[in-house]
Amino acid sequence: MNADVILQVEGRAGRIRLDRPKAIHALDTGMCAAMLGALAAWRDDPAVEIVLIDHAEGRGFCAGGDIRMIATSGAGDGSQARDFFRTEYRLNHALFTYAKPIVAFMDGITMGGGVGISQPARYRVATENTRFAMPETGIGLFPDAGGGWYLARLPGKIGEYLALTGHRLDGAECLALGLATHYLPAEALDEAKTRIAADPAAVETILAELSAPASEPRIAAHRADIDRLFAADTVEGVFVALDADGGEWAAAQRATLRAKSPQSMKVSLRLVREGRARTSFAEEMAQEYAIGSRVAQSHDFIEGVRALIVDKDNAPAWNPATPEAVSDAAVDAIFAPLLADQQWEP
């Protein structure tokens, strides 16, 4: 058992409830391992017909992974960071390939690793509280936990836009983009969970009955801008497009990108572009594990965590300091396959 995740069978549902409120339910290795164990136990249990994933107390569904631990490990030999990524990505893959239906309730902050455990679910419920993002370029990381797969499958260049800027989407935007399958008022979630646990076969009817109309997705107003300004093959090209636009929205995006790790932006852009061509989720996770193993020990990640999470001075000294200074060879090295005995597998 793990004190930070509540695992129980309620009615005919397996319940996974994240319970680490002081860290906005950020995932650590033990939590991921406990969830993997529960999924394995429920796979062939006829008493469990559906799996529900949510959070217990506190704000937010899941803020991501245990970034401090990963950075501390990365500053050393990186072994704990690699153990975490290996276990977390196995959890992501187990959820993605699970035979029984899964319902994820993305109520509140759903970022990074929270995206990784909600997006594989067949039913993904957003609310008025949902704040969905892959903000990793701001701390020298990249959109992992399957982010390269999910962002690559969004319409137009929205995947590139979200990966580079870390922009936060609300629940209505998640519904419009297909990141959520349903939009429910937060006050209806308890009823939804109770009814689904009692009658899993009626899950679609229950979610439809409790759904509410979502507001007009704000991102729709910028769809044409996003598709035009984030279409370049390189990060440098994106900056050129933003500079040439001259508009207020483009200027705001440029300012946002200037604060991000140049290396992370290059890695993230390539991950999304290559993700479109991948045919299996396992292949995606193996690539992300190779990247994560290296980035966890990189200067920019350790510096990003220092600046934004530890010291909170919000003044990371990125190295290299500009996209132009990040060589193709450096990015190639981050994406290179690991040695056979070090590779990730489901």
Q: Point out the residues that are catalytic.
A: 65, 113, 136, 144
- φ/ψ of 241, rounded to 5, equals -65, -45
Q: Are 100 and 203 in contact (CB under 8 A)?
A: no
Q: What is the side-by-side strand order in the sheet with 13-18?
A: 5-10, 13-18, 50-55, 102-106, 123-126, 182-183
Rg (CA), the chain: 20
Angle between helices 248-258 and 158-165 (to 10 degrees): 50
- φ/ψ of 141, rounded to 5, equals -105, -155
- CA of residue 242 relative to chain centroid, distance: 26
Tokens of 269: 């852009």
Question: What string of DSSP letters covers 274-302?
Answer: HHTT---HHHHHHHHHHHHHHHTTSHHHH
> How far is the C-alpha of 145 from the C-alpha of 278, rounded, in Å?
15
Tokens of 134: 């892959």
